[in-house]
Chains A and B, each alone.
Chain A
Amino acid sequence: MTKYLARRLGQSLLTVFLTISTVFVLVRLAPGDPAAAYAPPSATTADLERIRAQFGLDKPLVTQYGIFLRDLLNGDLGTSYSFHDSALSVVLDRMPYTITLSLAAIAVTVAVAVPLGVWMARHADTSRELGANVLTITGQSMPDFWTGVMLLTVFAVLLPVLPASGFTSWSGLVLPTVTIAILQLALVSRLVRREMTTALASPYITVARSRGVSERALTWRYALANSSVPLVTAVGTRFAALLNGVVLVEVVFGWPGVGSLVVRALETRDYPLIQATVLVTATLAILVQLLVDLAYPLLDPRVRLGKAA
């Protein structure tokens, strides 16, 4: 167990390290000069040189990378060019908003998709199930930014029942959450349906039924409990993909999270801020993955960590 954990942590650290290094190099390979973006239009070449030196961009790439790694070990990700503040703290300030939105979206998705998937499994291959299936596929096929704009127009502009943007009150969470959930619904409900169909057809269900266990208990306590491991895996692995959706939805709804931050940082060539955002989100996604893996033995006592291939 300890060995397993150590190996997994090592792998995760390696992934994060490679990611951040890739970003470091990519950012600097690309054309475009951050100094020009922050200098006043009247700046002379000397001014630009001075700004570049101030940002530490005048040194050779390898030296910059060395300095970057040294600071990284000390938990310093540099100072954001546009916020004039520690890049890490700028990102961490925004993080709770993104996490809130992601968790709300996951909760809503699971709360809808699990009963839906169970219902679909119990009505497998009927025309009603086909209808539900087509509906979820439609939800999956709408571009999330478009769904967001449409929901916004209907529920915040035409019928002003919900706030249009930002995080002013908890009701501001509703529309972004629904937008993300619509997209995720198809995948999760299809998975639940597949697992439940298999589970409901297995011999232990027949045995339990023959012993007089009620259909409700069969469905929810027997079959669903046994389908929970693949479900948790899927939600865990979808988390990174979910963060993608969050970026778009944050931009549409003006949500003050990391997604809208990174879009702004890219526009202004804010190297430290871009690096900090990628580092923090990658760490978060990998951490979630690790937690999911660690949760297996809790859900299924047959699983022993470290022995799995």
Chain B
Amino acid sequence: MSATLTPSASSARSSAVTARHLARATATRQRRSARFKLWAGALCTALVALPVALASLLPLPDPDAQNLAGRRVPPLTDGHLFGTDQLGRDLLSRILHGGQVSLTVGILAVVVSGLIGIAAGSAAGYFGGWIDTVVSRLLEAQMALPLLMMLLLVVALFGPSVTVITCVIAIAQWPEVARLTRSLVLVEREKPYVAAARLLGMRSWSVLGRHVIPNVLRPASLVVLLLLAQAVLLESALSFLGAGPQRPFATWGRIISDGQDYITTSWWLVTLPGLVIALLVVGVNLMGDGLRDRIRTTKTTKPAKGA
């Protein structure tokens, strides 16, 4: 009935559709695209992560075995799927073994930054007062600074060990977790069950640890995948600048910066490791995005249970 009144603009939502139709159509389409992102993301991630995890089981040459006779062999020759580098080392093997270091650093960094972020963010949100002031000021200050310079500084000064780099990336990332946790806790602490727990005589530390934090953990964990993607990129950036772990294997950024000198003659030395990083990070980002979309659509379409 109102269809006759709608302006001719075709791209605008037609008001002939009832609100129920609209919600269902949008929701299904949203869910479809979220599912696509999740599956495509999982596929891309698995394509990189599985071979990396199984690197030592695969029939690959040793990543450090040099063969000066077979230097810079193009991909798909002599059993070298990705070719060889300037010292005749198998590129695929180097990428996969280096990836183990990159991924370990990334995952550890996310765990550490998650722990710091959740602790600081929930304390700030729950207790408020001076704790909140200090944490919030720190967050603001850190977000305002160009961090890569500081990270480079720390790594350049303290040596590029896996521990230092993990800590450095964790320090770069904790604000994001802390901010999210703080805002979630601010909402959560006003809920009746918190008041009930307090009335029952629980101390505030145990209310926070036993009741509030478990309830914000799930929504807070949504950022984990996005943080992992950032951590992998950050690690590769550091190692590109020569501030990456050297042992046990050179990581992705380092492989790229080593190959840079030969880019005009041996394209694969830079292109392939970069593609591997991009594929992994695209996969992780897509999964993170899909997960976020899915939570958001279920939140808007289903009436929230309980709270």
Contacts and interface: CB of A to CB of B under 8 A. Distances in A.
Interface of A: 11, 15, 18-19, 23, 26-27, 29-32, 122-127, 129-130, 133-134, 137-138, 140-146, 149-150, 153, 157, 209, 212, 215, 237, 240-241, 243-244, 247-248, 251, 262-263, 266-267, 274, 277-278, 281-282, 285-286, 289
B301 interface: no
A240 B241 contact: no
29 contacts: A27-B153, A29-B157, A129-B33, A130-B33, A130-B36, A134-B286, A142-B274, A143-B233, A143-B240, A144-B237, A145-B236, A146-B256, A146-B277, A146-B278, A150-B270, A150-B271, A150-B274, A153-B267, A157-B263, A209-B7, A215-B9, A240-B145, A243-B146, A244-B148, A247-B149, A248-B241, A282-B144, A282-B146, A286-B144
A262 B149 CA distance: 7
B145 A19 contact: yes
B182 interface: no
Tell me the interface secondary structure of chain A in the complex: helix
Contacts of B236: 143, 145-146
Contacts of A212: 7
Contacts of A23: 150, 153
Interface in B227-247: 229, 233, 236-237, 240-241
Interface in B217-274: 229, 233, 236-237, 240-241, 253, 256-257, 260, 263-264, 267, 270-271, 274
B146 A244 contact: yes
A277 B137 CA distance: 23
B47 interface: no
Given A134-B40, A143-B274, A274 B153 contact: yes
Contact of B152 (A141, A241, A266): A266
A126 B256 CA distance: 37
Interface string B1-16: 0000001010110000
B143 interface: yes
Leading 6 A-B pairs by shortest Cβ distance? A30-B157, A243-B146, A146-B274, A244-B148, A141-B281, A125-B29
B158 interface: yes
B202 interface: no
Given A157-B263, A215-B7, A240 B278 contact: no
A140 B285 contact: yes
Given A145-B236, A150-B270, 17 more contacts: A23-B150, A29-B157, A30-B157, A31-B158, A123-B11, A125-B29, A125-B33, A134-B40, A134-B286, A141-B278, A143-B253, A143-B256, A149-B270, A153-B270, A241-B146, A266-B152, A285-B144
Contacts of B150: 23, 278
Contacts of B66: none
Contacts of B141: 15, 18-19
Contacts of B146: 240-241, 243-244, 247, 281-282, 285
Contacts of A141: 229, 233, 278, 281-282, 284-285
A119 to B, nearest CB: 10
B81 interface: no
B233 A157 contact: no
Nearest to B282: A141
Given A215-B11, A237-B143, A146 B153 contact: no
B72 interface: no
Interface string B58-86: 00000000000000000000000000000
A143 B30 CA distance: 29
Contacts of A143: 233, 236-237, 240, 253, 256, 274, 277-278, 281
A285 B143 CA distance: 10
Contacts of A27: 153, 157
B145 A282 contact: yes
B97 interface: no
Contact of A138 (B12, B36, B260, B278): B278
Nearest to A212: B7
A269 to B, nearest CB: 9
B295 interface: no
B87 interface: no
A266 B144 contact: no
A237 B158 CA distance: 29
Interface string B136-174: 010011011111111011101111000000000000000
A133 B278 CA distance: 16
